[in-house]
């Protein structure tokens, strides 16, 4: 059984080109999405790439069971 790719192929190709332009690997650029989200966002805005896929932190914040009620 193959793992379903969540990103369209075009976005993956664009991100590979962006990583190449920056002198990074695509994996490093992906890691920056979680470890340096603001820098990642600035880079994506500069290259005009928009994606509506929430990060892991955003998904945690939307989960009502993770919110603290006082």
Q: What is the mean pLDDT of residues 13-21?
A: 92
Lowest mean pLDDT, pick from 14-18, 26-30, 54-58: 54-58
Whole-number average pLDDT of the chain: 77
Confidence of residue 59 (pLDDT cuts 50, 70, 90): low
Is 17 part of any domain?
Answer: yes
In a domain, 1, yes or no: no
Q: How many whole angstroms separate alpha carbon 62 and alpha carbon 64?
A: 6
Q: Is the pLDDT of residue 32 over 60?
A: yes
Concatenate the DSSP letters of all residues of 25-62 into one string. -HHHHHHHHHHSHHHHHHHHHHHT----PPPHHHHHHH
At 20, is the pLDDT very low, low, confident or very high (cuts 50, 70, 90)?
A: very high
Q: Is residue 30 part of a domain?
A: yes
Residue 3 in any domain: the answer is no
Half-sphere exposure of 5 (CA within 13 A, CB side): 6
Distance, CA of 39 to CA of 14 (rounded, Å): 17
In a domain, 51, yes or no: yes
- Total number of domains constituting the chain: 1
Instruction: Measure the CA–CA gap between 40 and 16, rounded to whole angstroms.
Output: 14
């Amino acid at each position: 059984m193959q793992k379903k790719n969540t990103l369209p192929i075009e976005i993956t190709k664009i991100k590979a080109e962006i990583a190449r332009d920056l002198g990074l690997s695509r994996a490093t650029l992906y890691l920056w999405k979680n470890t340096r989200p603001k820098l990642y966002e600035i880079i994506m805005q500069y290259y005009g790439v928009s994606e509506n896929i929430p990060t892991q932190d955003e998904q945690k914040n939307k989960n009502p069971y993770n919110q603290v009620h006082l």
